[in-house]
Amino acid sequence: MTQVHQVLSAVGPYDAVSTQAQAWRELLGGCGMHGAIYADLIDPRSSRVVRPLAELDPGPGDLVVLRYSAYAPRLRPLLELPCRKLLVYHNVTPPRYFWNHHPGVAVACALGRDQLPRYARAVDVAAADSAFNARELEVAGAPETRVVPILFEPGRLSGRGPGPEGEGPLVLVVGRLVPNKRHDLAIGAFAAYQRRFAPDARLVLAGEPLSPSYRGLIEHLARGSGARSVTVTGGLPQPDLNALYASADVLLSTSEHEGFCVPLLEAFHFGLPVVARPAGAMPEVGADAVLWADEGDLDMLPELIDLAVTDAGLREELARRGQRRLEHFAYERTADRILGAVDAALA
């Protein structure tokens, strides 16, 4: 029986690529294509679900799915394996965001982007989770690229942890605390919103930090902004994140670079209005269900937050459009695309 093994450069407990690998494993396992997840770098908190890359030993009839999101020194030899290979490109963040904050990550990003062409040309099938990412793959020389969106599982969003404390409109920012997400701009927009519209408003920044010192920097920026009631939670288990979505009044994204942006779909699931900058793949994911600020006009953000919080009719319309986007990314629909890509790679 064919096995489908997935390989990641690194896995962590709360990142979208690791979550996707697990979702694919369940889907493919249900179709009789079992396999494990391997990674070069494994966060200790994920060590139970992932195996070290050195243990990977696929048979000639197996498929290796390479999930590409950064450089890892031991990934390249996999291109020589005598089995079929499917590349799934999740995007590699440009290194400019990391040189000053985490040189190691910056190097992994710089090399990851430089070496993408080698992977794009060597695999049997190349796929990307958004058209934005697919364009980068094509530029890298992939002969044919499929768009296979993130496999969105609403079931993950049913558990509930404890909700946040306090009263007042809750502005939520979800995503790893990394420089390309520009949490500094979210804090600035929230500070302006709080000052002008809702003195009792709260801001929660939920996401695993790049490092403890980077988290300290964001907390320092929050204190310096004059904003009150700002909470930096760090990485959260899904039930706790679900509770935040359920309690929030608006999801805010000021990110500058996104290969997909799963929190958009999660917000749509909870009927939560989204205010965002149109970065990377976000417009193709959110389409007309998001209140987009003009690029370069950050002053629109507090205004949009206020409208999203106070205008009930607008919230209803955004929720309705969000449901339509969820239909576009429905589990069955994406599962068909995944199975199509796997079949093509095995053919």
Among 51, 79, 99, 156, binds another protein (CB under 8 A): 99
Output the smallest distance, CB 94 to another protein, in A.
5
292 binds another protein (CB under 8 A): yes
Residues in 255-284 that interact with another protein by CB under 8 A: none
**For another protein, which is the closer residue by CB, 84 or 181?**
181
**For another protein, which is the closer residue by CB, 120 or 252?**
252
**For another protein, which is the closer residue by CB, 44 or 155?**
44
C-alpha 94/C-alpha 114 separation (Å) is: 10
3-state SS, one letter per residue, for 127-175: EECCHHHHHHHHHCCCCCEEECCCCCCHHHHCCCCCCCCCCCCEEEEEC
**For another protein, which is the closer residue by CB, 5 or 257?**
257
Place of tokens 């200790």: 44
237 binds another protein (CB under 8 A): no
Indicate the SS3 state at residue 33. Answer: coil
Q: x/- string (CB under 8 A) for another protein, residues 164-203?
A: ---------------x--xxxx-xxx-xx--xx-------
Indicate the SS3 state at residue 208. Answer: coil
The DSSP code sequence of 271-295 is: T--EEE---TTHHHHHGGGSEEPPT
Indicate the SS3 state at residue 19. Answer: helix
Spatial contact of 8 and 18, defined as CB atoms under 8 Å apart: yes
C-alpha 228/C-alpha 222 separation (Å) is: 8
**For another protein, which is the closer residue by CB, 10 or 23?**
10
C-alpha 4/C-alpha 246 separation (Å) is: 36
Q: x/- string (CB under 8 A) for another protein, residues 9-48?
A: ----------------------------------xxx---
Backbone angles phi, psi at 51, to 5 degrees: -105, 155
Region near another protein per CB under 8 A, out of 23-31, 64-72, 134-142, 295-303: 295-303
What H or E segment, with its residue span, contains residue 8?
Answer: strand 4-11
> What tokens does 321 get?
């459009």
Q: x/- string (CB under 8 A) for another protein, residues 102-131?
A: -x------x--x------------------
Region near another protein per CB under 8 A, out of 119-127, 153-161, 287-295, 328-336: 287-295
Size of the site for another protein (CB under 8 A): 54
Among 144, 200, 316, 336, binds another protein (CB under 8 A): 316
3-state SS, one letter per residue, for 54-123: HHCCCCCCCEEEEEECCCCCCCHHHHHCCCEEEEEECCCCCHHHCCCCCHHHHHHHHHHHHHHHHHHHHC
**Residue 117 burial (CB count, 10 A):** 14
Among 297, 323, 336, 343, binds another protein (CB under 8 A): 297
318 binds another protein (CB under 8 A): yes
Positions that interact with another protein (CB under 8 A): 43-45, 94-97, 99-101, 103, 110, 113, 179, 182-185, 187-189, 191-192, 195-196, 211-213, 221, 225, 288-294, 297-304, 307-308, 311, 313-314, 316-318, 321
